[in-house]
Structure 1
Amino acid sequence: MAKQNEKRDILIASAAGLFWHQGYAVTSLADIAAASGIPLGNIYYYFKSKAELARGVADIFVAETEIMLAEITEANQNPRIRLQLLVEKLAQSLKSRVEHGCPIALGIRDFRHESPEAAGRAAESFSLLIGFIGRELGRSGIRPSTALGLARNALTEWQGGIMLAHGLKDPTVLAESFRRIERLLMVAPSRT
């Protein structure tokens, strides 16, 4: 059973990379088989369709987001430091985001037609991030409605920065977005 799960995980990881780098629509199951080293006919043992693979990729997005947020939560109790740690974690992927865009946003867009369930699942990653930011801002004394708005603004800044930096192939655009996110989250007004 462990070997089966390992092969399934290899297929999902291969699909995730190909969907991100070349796009969901143009990636075939044959491409995924070649990238994974698993024969094409064997893919159907694990997944009935490319749409099912998309759901597996979306599950990875959510799991990785949950792990990252749990690590940040365990690292420090101070909400402002947690927010700083989040920005630092997101900035670690600057180079790959400039080169290829955001895999989560691309997945949401690309999965929507053929696998709406996968698109919705991928979007949960953004909901997790917004919820985390909003809670931490709330813990720092900001009203819940204001905290939620700031959290959405921060995510919008991040995604817009990725899109523009990717389009222009200019990492400074995304670096500037991270500085704006830091200012937005670190100097947000508290309810005093």
Structure 2
Amino acid sequence: MSSPEKQARRSKGYANREAITAAAAGLFWREGYASTTLADVAIAANVPPGNLFYYFRTKADLARAVADVFVAETEAMLEATGADEGEPRRRLAALVARLSRSAPGRVAHGCLIALCVRDFRRDAPEASDRAAEAFAMLVGFMARELGRAGQRPSLALSRARAALAEWQGGIMLAHALKDASILSESFRRMERTLAG
């Protein structure tokens, strides 16, 4: 097989793996991890079920790939937020603004990361821990920026955790009551917490 053919095959394999992972994330969010089968994922990804096992041997392997996406997306968001703004308070405000862009999906379905942390815990604990890293990264970013703004480390960490808890609590309640205004209020409280 020639080098361009190998490259095309690798590229198709990467695209299939990405499609499978994206389909799984969507199904886990809408249907739940326990209710989603590998056959469901294959159908949603438009991949023959037998081919799915070439990429992911087990559902736990697929859960880990989904968790890896959470971490990569969170890391990219934080890097972009840090690069876009120069001053710590503005970076924190920009982070809240970025998080608020996902509000409609969060109100409709809850927080995919939180759902997966919980749902992966029993059958795929490594994936659960990996997904939780996205939250740790958010807390770390907020605490560092608060520290750069002059807050002592213990207060900066406490406020960062409070801001994340506000966001997650707002998502849960907004989703449960199907009321987007609840999440909007949570974002305003996050902004106040991070500005204080």
Q: Deviations over 1:124-144 (max 9, x none)?
A: 000000000000000000000
Aligned counterpart for 1:42 among listed residues 37, 40, 51: 51
Q: Which amino acid aligns with 1:68?
A: M
Aligned counterpart for 1:56 among listed residues 42, 53, 65: 65
Residue 137 of structure 2 corresponds to 128
1:5 CA displacement: 1.1
Q: Which amino acid aligns with 1:8?
A: R
Matched, 1:154 2:163: yes
SS of 1:24's partner is coil
Matched, 1:180 2:189: yes
Matched, 1:13 2:22: yes
Residue 116 of structure 2 corresponds to 107
- Percent identity reads 58
Residue 5 of structure 2 corresponds to none
1:76 CA displacement: 1.3
1:115 CA displacement: 0.3
RMSD of aligned Cα (Å): 0.5
Q: Deviations over 1:145-165 (max 9, x none)?
A: 000000000000000000000
Q: Deviations over 1:166-188 (max 9, x none)?
A: 000000000000000011111x2
Distance of 2:31 and 2:120 partners within structure 1: 14
Residue 79 of structure 2 corresponds to 70
Residue 6 of structure 2 corresponds to none
Matched, 1:167 2:172: no
The number of equivalent residue pairs is 187
1:77 CA displacement: 1.3
Q: How does 1:14-29 map to 2 (within 5 A)?
A: 14-29=23-38
Residue 7 of structure 2 corresponds to none
Matched, 1:87 2:96: yes
Q: Deviations over 1:6-40 (max 9, x none)?
A: 11111000000000111000001111011000000
> Which consecutive residues of structure 2, in runs of 5 or more, have no partner in the other structure?
1-9
> Which consecutive residues of structure 1, in runs of 5 or more, have no partner in the other structure?
none
Q: Deviations over 1:82-133 (max 9, x none)?
A: 0000000000011100000000000000000010000000000000000000
Q: Which amino acid aligns with 2:153?
A: P
Q: TM-score, normalised by structure 2?
A: 0.95
Q: TM-score, normalised by structure 1?
A: 0.97
Q: Which amino acid aligns with 2:68?
A: D
Distance of 2:29 and 2:98 partners within structure 1: 20
